[in-house]
């Protein structure tokens, strides 16, 4: 029982659930209400979501596989080498990655664009090299994970809209691209915050992360990006009010904008590990509430 619970912790079940919810919202809150069309059947779409979940789970496993030493220095709970053996972990990684890549190519073939499968292959490979090289390097790891977070959103219209576009497909695609950019920036901010949180252990391992090499610049980047997003979200809320979308505007202001302003205020003068952990959890919550704002489109359309 303990081993099963640790397995679910290892693959970050909560994060995988967020991925699944995000992808289902893209389909049922934006694509179908706006375009009234879909290229994949319900079962095929479920397989597409599962392909993302398998690849993400494999990424979490391989990340912990290579991070046992630094996780020990950062006082994180270790699962690999304790309840789950290293050979079991590496086998799970390759099995999950293989299933995710296979599903990507299979579904690409079903919609007539088999090359879409290379997206899953790229994501799986990127997660491997992130764990072995890029995570330790200046900025490259942060940017790579942010790109993969954006692809979690963007991959849905690539399978659903591109093979079978109609009149409103362009508008739906633009909205989804907006959420994809939001996911990229938010993930980039959170990755930098997490690097600050783990800075002590990372320094001992000789890592050259953005938060270690350029701490002052990294803080300024986090605050600047936060202000940019606060401004953009404020503009979105204003436009919603202008077009009498009062429920949508209320949600955006109270559930997304206000917590983001709180995050910005708390990010000023932060120095301690517990403070960075709190910021990391706050930005994760904002990512969730921002994603759930897609439900507004169901009401509008």
Most confidently predicted of 53-67, 71-85, 265-279? 53-67
**Which tokens go with 96?**
């999950």
Distance CA 143, CA 30 (A): 27
pTM, 2 dp: 0.93
pLDDT above 70: percentage of residues in the chain = 96
**Which tokens go with 68?**
């046992």
CA angle 209, 13, 134 (to 5 degrees): 20
pLDDT at residue 16, as a whole number: 96
Given a cut of 80, is residue 100 above it in pLDDT?
yes
Alpha helix positions (H), the chain:
2-10, 13-25, 32-35, 42-66, 68-73, 86-110, 117-132, 140-160, 169-197, 199-204, 210-213, 215-242, 246-251, 258-267, 273-292, 295-300
Range from 73-87, 133-147, 153-167, 205-219 carrying the lowest mean pLDDT:
73-87
Residues near 297 by beta carbon (within 8 Å), at least 6 away in sequence: 29, 30, 33, 34, 175
**Which tokens go with 90?**
């590496």
pLDDT at residue 95, as a whole number: 97
**Which tokens go with 211?**
């938060």
- Total structural domains in the chain? 1
Distance CA 231, CA 245 (A): 19
What's the average model confidence in pLDDT over 247-263?
91
CA-closest candidate to residue 49, choices 33, 29, 27, 32? 27
The total of other beta-carbon atoms located within 10 Å of residue 197's CB is: 21
pLDDT at residue 215, as a whole number: 85
pLDDT at residue 118, as a whole number: 96
Range from 74-78, 165-169, 291-295 carrying the lowest mean pLDDT:
74-78
Q: How many CA atoms lie within 13 A of 133 on its CB side?
A: 6
State residue 84 phi and psi, 5-degree precision: -115, 125
pLDDT above 90: percentage of residues in the chain = 56
| Average of per-residue pLDDT values in the chain | 89
Residues forming a β-bridge with 80:
84
pLDDT at residue 2, as a whole number: 62
Q: Residue 301 — pLDDT band, cuts 50, 70, 90?
A: low
pLDDT at residue 297, as a whole number: 63
pLDDT at residue 91, as a whole number: 95
pLDDT at residue 68, as a whole number: 76
Q: Residue 71 — pLDDT band, cuts 50, 70, 90?
A: low
Given a cut of 90, is residue 17 above it in pLDDT?
yes
CA-closest candidate to residue 128, choices 76, 77, 60, 183? 60
Q: How many CA atoms lie within 13 A of 23 on its CB side?
A: 26
What's the average model confidence in pLDDT over 35-39?
80
Q: Residue 229 — pLDDT band, cuts 50, 70, 90?
A: very high
Q: Among positive and negative, which fits the CA dihedral 5, 6, 11, 14?
A: positive
Q: Among positive and negative, which fits the CA dihedral 67, 70, 76, 81?
A: positive
Q: Which domain holds residue 78?
A: 2-300
* Residues 76/9, Cβ–Cβ less than 8 Å: no
What's the average model confidence in pLDDT over 206-213?
85
Residue range 153-201, pLDDT digits in tens: 999 999 999 888 887 888 889 999 999 999 999 999 999 999 998 888 7
């Amino acid at each position: 029982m303990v081993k099963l619970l640790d397995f679910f912790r290892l693959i970050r079940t909560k994060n995988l659930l967020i991925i699944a919810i995000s992808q289902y919202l893209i389909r049922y809150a934006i694509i179908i209400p706006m375009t009234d069309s879909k290229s994949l059947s319900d079962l095929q779409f479920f397989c597409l979501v599962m392909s993302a979940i398998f690849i993400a789970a494999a990424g979490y496993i391989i990340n912990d596989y290579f991070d046992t030493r630094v996780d020990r220095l950062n006082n994180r709970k270790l699962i690999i080498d304790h309840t789950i053996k290293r050979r079991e972990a590496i086998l799970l990684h390759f099995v999950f990655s293989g299933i995710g890549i296979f599903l990507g190519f299979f579904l690409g073939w079903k919609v007539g664009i088999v090359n879409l499968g290379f997206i899953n292959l790229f994501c799986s490979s990127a997660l491997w090299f992130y764990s072995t090289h890029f995570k330790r390097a200046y900025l490259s790891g942060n940017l790579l994970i942010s790109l993969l977070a954006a692809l979690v959103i963007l991959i849905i219209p690539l399978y659903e809209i591109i093979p079978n576009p109609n009149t409103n497909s362009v508008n739906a695609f633009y909205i989804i691209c907006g959420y994809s950019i939001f996911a990229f920036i938010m993930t980039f901010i959170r990755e930098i915050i997490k690097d600050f949180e783990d800075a002590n252990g990372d320094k001992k391992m000789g890592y050259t992360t953005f938060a270690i090499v350029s701490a002052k610049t990294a803080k300024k980047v986090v605050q600047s990006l936060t202000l940019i997003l606060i401004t953009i979200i404020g503009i979105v809320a204003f436009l919603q009010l202008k077009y009498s979308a009062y429920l949508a505007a209320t949600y955006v202001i109270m559930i997304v904008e206000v917590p983001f302003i709180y995050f910005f205020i708390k990010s000023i003068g932060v120095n301690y590990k517990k403070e960075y952990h709190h910021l990391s959890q706050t930005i994760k919550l904002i990512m969730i509430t921002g994603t759930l704002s897609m439900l507004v489109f169901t009401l509008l359309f």
